[in-house]
Amino acid sequence: MTTVVKGGTLVTADRSYEADILIEGEKIAAIGADLKGDKVVDASGAYVIPGGIDPHTHLEMPFMGTTTAETFESGTAAAASGGTTMIVDFVLPGPDGSLVNALRDWHRKADGRICIDVGWHVAVTGWNETIWREMAEVVKLGVNTFKHFMAYKGALMVEDDEMYASFSRCAELGALPLVHAENGDIIAELQKKFMAQGKTGPEGHAHSRPPEVEGEATNRAIMIADAAGVPLYVVHVSCEEAHEAIRRARQKGMRVWGEPLVQHLTLDEGEYFDKDWDHAARRVMSPPFRDRKHQDSLWAGLAAGSLQVVATDHCAFTTAQKRMGLKGFPSIPNGTGGLEDRLAVLWTRGVETGRLTPEEFVAVTSTNIARILNIYPRKGALVPGADADIVVWDPKLKKTIRAADQLSIIDYNVFEGVEVTAQARHTISRGTVVWSHGQNTRPSAGHGIYIPRPAFPAASKALSVWKELNSPRFIHRDPQNIPSGV
Ligand code: DUC
Ligand code: ZN
Ligand code: ZN
Ligand code: ZN
């Protein structure tokens, strides 16, 4: 059984050109003029792009006293309808602290339920011999990225010594550390201060996480990565201070990548002020939305190449869950959705406005992250031999975003009322059309598979001599010595 995607303009990270794509089974078999197949997918008048990859989602994740409401089934169906054919979801260790058990748990939640392909990042939320050993097992199981939280003090936050030890272990294993870069100590102080002053509403969330806390942590993480001799990927870069740190590091030759979210690019801090409680709380996420100056910095970074990837950090809670924080903003579950709308909003606000070229759009939604995560060109590319993850992207298909119309099971949408000028006409995942616009079909659960990612061939050589002298295998912590609450 063969399929031809016919009559469209292919857009890759490099160039745009007219061609058909022949699909055989799950793979792209050929690209060229006038190709023939058993079945035709009409791409006339449309662009044909590599399926979107959203490298930052939190589906069915226990967090802040509840669990994200978006399921693997609803989340991946929503993603497919928006032109995304792969997500990479964050695995958090449970109470037993085991990375391997957590990974098994995430497979159990996703297997047989996902509509598109998935990969995993695994979070390192402390440090001991078991974690050191399990990191190697995790890499063997196809995960080449480890996430570190510098915020969420008393829960997920790692200290600098733990981060240095884990980053060094990543270097040994050919894995890439990721950071959530916000200074958790300062945030905890500011939260206490605003609560004591009676500033308990969602606007307190934004005030307690100013750009300085993100800039400081980003700089610190970059320096620690350099000391450990490992590249670094900074998730949800939301402000100029963090972007500046990344830009500077890259100029010095360090391998540091930055990931803004479509929400930070398009929604500003006004969403928290002079709004009703539900409106503001639904938009509480960390880092918070920023002002125009920061948005302009992020857009400039995408165009200039100092920021490489646009994700969503899809971490979606219902309004009822958000109301857990009615008594005080520190208890509002942090997170917003976006994986269904990422491509359409980025196209409308980025390509339609001239901020990004169509090729840059493909780079930041698919190709760059495939390269960074070591799954290129299986993913992120339109070349023979690649997985046939293809989106027929219709630049004339307008809509107004409405929660009432979405496949996501959340009862609101942070982009409610936003008019988008383009959408997926068809989404093809490994050769199967999983979504077609206007056909009232749901992507089928069970189509998606797990995509293992090999370790990187060699860690960065930066500071290698220094690194050999300072390679901490274990940091033995005396539980009696850890201050309470840390
Ligand atoms: N930020 C969020 O808003 N939610 C999940 C975790 C995070 O870092
Ligand atoms: Zn985060
Ligand atoms: Zn996240
Ligand atoms: Zn700690």
Q: How would you classify the pairing of strands 9-11 and 47-50?
A: parallel
Ligand in nearest proximity to the CA of 316: 1
Q: Per-residue pLDDT tens, the chain, 486 aa: give them.
A: 999 999 999 999 999 999 999 999 999 999 999 999 999 999 999 999 999 999 999 999 999 999 999 999 999 999 999 999 999 999 999 999 999 999 999 999 999 999 999 999 999 999 999 999 999 999 999 999 999 999 999 999 999 999 999 999 999 999 999 999 999 999 999 999 999 999 999 999 999 999 999 999 999 999 999 999 999 999 999 999 999 999 999 999 999 999 999 999 999 999 999 899 999 999 999 999 999 999 999 999 999 999 999 999 999 999 999 999 999 999 999 999 999 999 999 999 999 999 999 999 999 999 999 999 999 999 999 999 999 999 999 999 999 999 999 999 999 999 999 999 999 999 999 999 999 999 978 889 999 999 999 998 754 444 443 344 444 433 333 444 444 443
- Supply the pLDDT for residue 294: 98
Burial of 166 (0-12, 13-18, 19+ CB in 10 A): buried
Q: What is the arrangement of strands in the sheet containing 232-234, beginning at the earlier edge strand?
A: 52-57, 84-91, 117-123, 145-149, 176-180, 232-234, 256-258
Q: Rounded CA gap, 342 and 323, in Å?
A: 26
Question: What is the 314 CA–ligand 1 centroid distance (Å)?
Answer: 9
> Ligand 1: which of 59, 68, 236 to mutate, most ligand atoms within 8 Å of CB?
236
Nearest ligand 1 atom to alpha carbon 61: 5
Ligand in nearest proximity to the CA of 66: 1
pTM comes to 0.94
Q: Is 58 in the pocket of ligand 1 (CB under 6 A)?
A: yes
Nearest to 261 by CA among 187, 345, 183: 345
**168 is written with which tokens?**
């060094």
Nearest to 302 by CA among 345, 238, 259: 259
| Model confidence pLDDT, tens digit, residues 427-453 | 999 999 999 999 978 889 999 999 999
Ion ligand 3: residues, CB < 5 A: 313
Nearest ligand 1 atom to alpha carbon 336: 3
Cis ω on the peptide bond leading into residue 287 (within 30° of 0)?
yes
Q: Is 262 in the pocket of ligand 1 (CB under 6 A)?
A: no
Whether complex ipTM tops 0.95: no
Question: What is the 313 CA–ligand 3 centroid distance (Å)?
Answer: 5
CB 310 within 8 A of CB 262: yes
Q: Is 334 in the pocket of ligand 1 (CB under 6 A)?
A: yes
Ligand in nearest proximity to the CA of 483: 4
Question: What is the 450 CA–ligand 1 centroid distance (Å)?
Answer: 23
Q: Rounded CA gap, 371 and 14, in Å?
A: 14
Hey, whose CA ends up nearest to atom 2 of ligand 1? 335
Instruction: Characterise 165 by phi-psi region: left (phi > 0), alpha (psi -120 to 50), beta (else).
Output: alpha
Nearest ligand 1 atom to alpha carbon 334: 3
| Model confidence pLDDT, tens digit, residues 364-388 | 999 999 999 999 999 999 999 999 9
Nearest to 181 by CA among 208, 207, 214: 214
| Model confidence pLDDT, tens digit, residues 3-61 | 999 999 999 999 999 999 999 999 999 999 999 999 999 999 999 999 999 999 999 99
- The phi and psi torsions of 314 (rounded to 5 degrees) equal -55, 110
CB 205 within 8 A of CB 332: yes
Question: What is the 198 CA–ligand 3 centroid distance (Å)?
Answer: 29
Nearest ligand 1 atom to alpha carbon 152: 8
